[in-house]
Amino acid sequence: MQESIIDQVISRARILAKEHGFSVCISVVDASGLQAGFYRMDDAIPGSIDVAIKKARTAALFRTNSEVIGAGAQPGGAIYSLEATNGGLISFGGGVVIRNSAGKVIGAVGVSGATVEGDQVIASGAAAL
């Protein structure tokens, strides 16, 4: 993933978080789920660091937003216990795939520190190239 794209995603997430009054952690990973960029806003809670990273990895590894994965990962769901794989995943909102102009997944962004809904809004806006 190009450094300029990583910077753009983090910048958009920071702006959106500030607009909504949140301090968040922002993780950007490449298409393989490997860390490409990270930013922790002032006053973001420390526990959000790991959550943001796992949200981004989840979205990238499965080429699907973490919010969508969560629907099947509920108790009794077809992919229940998926979160215990791949070193730990997250199956609720805030992990969003990043696609290039051709629609190919080139990475993902994970946001944590707002409400789950706020994380999803911020990540979705940040991922829009």
Strand ranges of the sheet holding 105-112, from the earlier edge strand across to the other edge: 35-40, 25-30, 105-112, 95-99
Distance of CA 118 to the CA centre of its chain: 12
Q: 95 forms bridges with which residues in the sheet?
A: 110
Q: Tell me the pLDDT tens digit for each residue of 14-73.
A: 999 999 999 999 999 999 999 999 999 999 999 999 999 999 999 999 999 999 998 888
Retrieve residue 1's tokens: 């993933």
pLDDT of residue 86: 87
Mean of pLDDT over the chain: 95
d(CA 38, CA 25): 7
d(CA 58, CA 92): 10
Q: 105 forms bridges with which residues in the sheet?
A: 99
What domains appear along the chain, each with residue ranges and CATH number? 3-127 (3.30.450.150)
Beta carbons of 60 and 31 less than 8 angstroms apart = yes
The pTM is what? 0.94
